[in-house]
Amino acid sequence: MPIRKFITTAELLPLIRIHKRVITKWRPLAVVAMIIILTAGLPAGRVHAGVVYVQPSGDTLLFQSSQASYDWQGSDYDTYVWDNFTLNSTQAITGIKWRGIYVHGGTTPYYPNPVTDFLVSFYATKVLGQGISEPDLKIDAQNNPHPLKTYRARGNARETPLCTPPCYSTWHDYSFSLPTPFQATAGTEYWIQIEGIQKGVADWGIAAGTGGNGSSFGSEVNYAGGFTYFKLQNDAAFTLLNSVGIENEDSRIQYDGWKGGKNNLANGGSYRVSNAKNNKASFVFSGTSFKWVTMEGPDMGIAHVMIDKVNMPDVDLYNATRIFNFTKSYSGLPGGSHTIVIQVSGQKNVNATNSKVALDAVTVGSVTTQDTSYKVIYDNWVGKATASASNGNYRMNGTPGAVAQLKFTGNQIDWITAYGPNYGQAEVFIDGVSQGVTDLYQAKAVWKVPVSFAGLSGGKHTIRVKVLGTKNPLSGGTAVVVDAFNIY
């Protein structure tokens, strides 16, 4: 009987192997492997802008995962299924949905035994001739395969039972947003693997689907210690998604009371505006002068201005006519670093209809920093740069009650954030309904982590990420990161 190395979750990613079995002293960790397929260009399965391809479920089992016995010495069997997909157009695949079932859920002393993690891998194709192909596993001397790309869900991929929990012997839907897109080239055949991880006996399987080529390819361990390969007579229930990415700098994201706006007459085409009393926008610069680019209008109020904590004369932005690129200049500052703060006073001209204050841009010398720049701080939403973030920068805030908000149209949204040793907790609301608290603490920093909210009705929605100011006892801080949002 083949012997497997039992590994911790942290070790899983580099050990996506098909043929290797070794021994270790660690606890058993059964790996349920399903390589699922999708064949197609974009036939009638395409249903909306976020879906690249869909093969609907027939709610029958395509293939059971490895169900071989195991013992505490560390032996088990794995079972795999392969199938292929080909798209008519080049796509950035950013999300995957599938349906599965616990074959023996609740029927033996070993169950329930939920999936605790998923690995998703994409493989190239090996052409065998006469229209026959198989996944190119690129097995090395140590019997390890080498996929084109592997992703780890770091959780159960939002496992949703199609019943009232607790229930394991029923169908479950799964949704996983890829941390970085997989670029699928038009006309190129790929193979995709979904591997469920269970800590005990493996019994998870994938649902059969319709709309593909009607077959898939599987393998299982044989008693000689090798693998037996065979053909399966069904496709898998599976959906590939792409999304619209909105980075943290996007003017559509509202930070506390600071709403973004767009107008071709604005400096750079966008601006931020707030009428929430005491909201402030800050900017740090070096120089002896600067220009605050804002706007006047019938709904504009009075702004407090401070330079290095020294109050400047208030600025009344009221004008009966809307005027973009209205500029206030400040000069005669000593050389060195300075901080300018533009604050909403909540006051207004008697003729004004509102008390809004706008930040369009800040110009220092010949350099203009737009309102969208991470260098502009909105209240305590501080922007920082790092190559690890989605677009090279992100915003963070640890102040209780601080909110980042986005209005969007779609049936799924991912909040792209970061986990780390100094991050806190946030509560997420969709259309005013709490989706629970997300704890961003993790001993080791991980970037571009999607927190997904799927199954929304089609149409317009609003997501709010609220900083709680609380934290895991092990965390060194309460900051919450907003890197980006992906909309499906």
Angle at CA of residue 488, ends 188 and 395, nearest 5° = 110
Query: What is the pLDDT, as a whole number, of residue 216?
Result: 80
Placement of tokens 């005990």 in the chain: 200
What percent of the chain shows pLDDT beyond 90? 49
Residue of 485, 396, 377 lying closest to 440 (CA atoms): 396
Query: What is the pLDDT, as a whole number, of residue 223?
Result: 66
Query: What is the pLDDT, as a whole number, of residue 11?
Result: 30
Whole-prediction pTM:
0.69
Look at residue 35 and tell me whether its pLDDT is greater than 60: no
Task: Please say whether the beta carbons of 464 and 420 come within 8 A.
Answer: no
- CA 202, CA 224: separation in Å to the nearest integer? 21
Query: What is the pLDDT, as a whole number, of residue 164?
Result: 65
Bridge-based pairing of strands 51-55 and 480-482 is unpaired
Q: In the chain, what are the domain boundaries?
A: 9-242, 244-258+390-488, 261-378
* Fold exhibited by the domain 244-258+390-488: Jelly Rolls (2.60.120)
- CA 154, CA 144: separation in Å to the nearest integer? 22
Bridge-based pairing of strands 425-430 and 484-487 is unpaired
Look at residue 385 and tell me whether its pLDDT is greater than 80: yes
Please write the tens of the pLDDT for every residue from 298-349. Answer: 999 999 999 999 999 999 999 999 999 999 999 999 999 999 999 999 999 9
Look at residue 14 and tell me whether its pLDDT is greater than 70: no
Number of C-beta neighbours around residue 459 at 10 A: 9
Look at residue 97 and tell me whether its pLDDT is greater than 70: yes
Mean pLDDT taken over the chain? 82
Placement of tokens 């088990």 in the chain: 76
Position 462 confidence tier, pLDDT thresholds 50, 70, 90: very high
- CA 371, CA 378: separation in Å to the nearest integer? 10
Please write the tens of the pLDDT for every residue from 249-259. Answer: 888 999 999 99
- Burial 266-290, CB ≥16 within 10 A → b, else e: bbbebbbbbbbeebbbbbebeeeeb
Return the minimum-mean-pLDDT range out of 29-43, 90-104, 131-145, 407-421.
29-43
Please write the tens of the pLDDT for every residue from 145-164. Answer: 799 999 988 788 878 778 76
Task: Please say whether the beta carbons of 349 and 340 come within 8 A.
Answer: no
Query: What is the pLDDT, as a whole number, of residue 379?
Result: 95
User: What CATH number labels 261-378?
Assistant: 2.60.120.260
Task: Please say whether the beta carbons of 283 and 273 come within 8 A.
Answer: no
User: Do 244-258+390-488 and 261-378 fold alike per CATH?
Assistant: yes
- CA 235, CA 215: separation in Å to the nearest integer? 5
Q: What is the mean pLDDT of residues 422-448?
A: 96
